[in-house]
Chains A and B, each alone.
Chain A
Amino acid sequence: MSTDYSCLEQIDKNPGNLIKGLQTIQAEHSYIADEAIVATANYFSMAVVEVEGVVSFYAQFKRTQPGKFQICVCDGTACHIKGSTLMLDWISTELKIADGETDADGFFSLETAACLGCCSLAPVMSVNGKVFGNLDRKATLKILKEYRKK
């Protein structure tokens, strides 16, 4: 069955809106599949490689399906200074996945970001966009535990 990319249709066909188009697809489908790239190229009348080139340039675009809960550990300067590397290590050990991976049952995925803008609460992480601050090991593991129950 082919996926429905009709969400593109709300966007003007001007190639200047390519990034917006890709963002819309990712918001709806949580990642950019190969099919999505072809659909986008057709929609904006561009070559597939041009779309692929833009997708690979920007860190925001994901090419694989993320987990139900997307954990994002901030590794901006403030969080790095405050021990984000250790935090990543704890989460990684607990969930048995590395940065950029999704666990086997598609429940959690783990990634890092360059700053979530809450540097005064460093170290911080977000789960599906909800930001948690001032984390130590205990607080971090507690958050994972609570999401596990969901």
Chain B
Amino acid sequence: MSNRIKKIKVGMASCGIAAGADELYKILEANGNGIPLEEVGCIGHCYAEPLIEVETDAGSIFYSVTDTKQATIDNIFNLGEASRFGISEIRAAKENVKITRLCGRISPTDIDEYIANGGYEALQKAQAMSSAEVIDEVKISGLRGRGGGGFPTGMKWGFMASKEADEKIIICNADEGDPGAFMDRSVMESVPHQLIEGMLIAAYATGSNKLFIYCRAEYPLAIKNLKIAIDQAYERKLNVINGKPLEIIIKEGAGAFVCGEETALIASLEGKRGMPRFRPPFPTDKGWNDFPSMINNVETFANVPVILAEGGAEYAKIGTEGSKGTKLFALAGDLENPGLIEVPMGITLAEIVFDIGGADRDSVKAVQTGGPSGGCIPVELFDTPVDYDSLKSLGAIMGSGGMIVIGQNRCMVETARYFLDFTHRESCGKCTFCRVGTKRMFETLERITAGAGEIADINFLEDMGTKVRSGSLCGLGQTAPNPVLATLCYFKDEYLSHIENRQCEALECPALVDVEIKQDKCIKCKLCIKNCPVNAVSDDFVIDNTLCTRCNSCIEVCPKDTIFRCKKGDGYYSG
């Protein structure tokens, strides 16, 4: 056979490992007769995990290996046709993979491989320029902060460069607090050197001497890979800028969403409770231990080497008037192909959700952008281009890049309740409107979803939402009402149906649904009776909905799919 296997790369980012990549790695190792294996990060096609890339003399072949049967493994070593994986043409045409070009393609912990692929060239190039020229290049690129705020990065760097102090601090915000987003995790796990390179360029441009990475503790693999990468950068003396070695310190967060806010993050870095404070003074004036400190997001830093390599003007060719470059999105929820995508700014939501995500056009109701600070956008508005300003005009935000597709079978009132449950618990408690207002809003939503809401509740939500927005110091409170106000704007009929008819059309809210067994199709196998935790199914297969907790256990075990949820009181058979 002429087509020799040179190497097999196994996607071993968190998503791959969760899908079973580590077991697969061991099996490939045992069966491989010494073929070199390499652990790589994530190429973004998480729906196909575990994914491997078989490098041969004639190019690479990808396999999506969902089982470890001997035949499957043999098929891979024989370069068989089965379970081959290819990126769909339509996705390939819509994506523009620049920032994540090396994600999943190289070993995250092999600095030589990063360098062989052009890594750290941008840092060299930057150091051959003056620091003002580097900042100009970033300004020309039009890069805006990827952490959610969208502040022009070059301008921030300019402020920082103008400060005189004994110590100047650069902080990478790797807190990734949006529950349902994993762009930063993927970058840190897959190409930690790219983040470090971006930070070192920032340090050079702004004359900073200490670098922090504040990473959430839920990301152990990201922390591990970053530590290895930092040690390697030290070894090569890449951290020596203007003749002085800079320290890069990783600090682990401790599970508080508000610590993603920059002043709270600084308090947390100082070992204190993560309470935001009033700005000004801005961190670039008074930050960590009162030294000038500049905070950027992981993805923002990861863009920097690309900008320096190709030049700001070239970078700015992609995107829209006010939003340049490409953006990473973490696609999840009700769609065929969840994963990490990189698209040019200005692409429409429809292209992302349907063409790239493979969601079914008839079953999508909305998409949530910006997590708990964002809003939902109904499918009718999917022609909207994705950029900072367009999304804002719809009452949503770009946010950091979490994008959750919501299907027709999800209840929007329940979704709003979910987000308020999150924000009211995560409020640090400093501002009364945020602390108490979000709690009252949450309780109101609980009432509505429990079928005990009143029409006055809608006015209350709108009124309180506006007050919480204006009466809060930091972005958490200022944006917490967004999910409620957005759903009230686009899905008011769902609220009304919960309140006036005591019905949940999506059949999600437990208090407003019944469960019943379709008698004519039932094969009387008794699995539902055996699995019901509260004995709500009678011997003659009728569900007592006064006992039933709507846990769906019977629906999950029924081999004939004869058990289903229906609107409260609509059941034909059930009691």
Contact = CB atoms under 8 A, between A and B. Distances in A.
B544 to A, nearest CB: 17
Contacts of A143: none
Interface stretch (B14-22, B294-302, B313-321, B459-467): B14-22
Nearest to A126: B18
B218 A115 contact: yes
B255 A93 contact: no
Given A23-B252, A57-B274, A59-B255, A77 B338 contact: no
Interface stretch (A2-10, A63-71, A99-107, A117-125): A117-125
B18 A121 contact: yes
Contacts, number: 154
Contacts of A59: 254-256
A78 B254 contact: no
Interface in B109-157: none
Given A119-B338, A136-B556, A54 B272 contact: yes
B254 A117 contact: no
B185 interface: yes
A54 B271 contact: yes
Given A16-B270, A81-B333, A118-B18, A113 B218 contact: yes
Nearest to A116: B218
A86 B18 CA distance: 20
A117 B14 contact: yes
Contact of A131 (B18, B270, B553): B18
A98 to B, nearest CB: 13
A114 interface: yes
Nearest to A124: B18
B322 interface: no
Given A59-B256, A121-B46, A86 B551 contact: yes
Contacts of B177: 114
B180 A19 contact: no
Contacts of B533: 93
Given A61-B254, A77-B371, A23 B217 contact: yes
B234 interface: no
B310 to A, nearest CB: 29
Contacts of B333: 77-78, 81-82, 122
A78 B217 contact: no
Contacts of A19: 251-252, 254, 268, 271
Contacts of B218: 113, 115-117
Contact of B271 (A18, A83, A137): A18
A118 B42 CA distance: 11
Contacts of B47: 120
11 contacts: A16-B269, A22-B254, A54-B273, A77-B179, A77-B402, A81-B407, A89-B549, A116-B218, A117-B219, A134-B19, A137-B552
Given A78-B332, A131-B18, A134-B19, 5 more contacts: A59-B255, A82-B334, A117-B182, A120-B339, A120-B340
Interface of A: 14-20, 22-23, 53-54, 57-61, 75-83, 86, 89-90, 93, 113-122, 124, 129, 131-134, 136-138
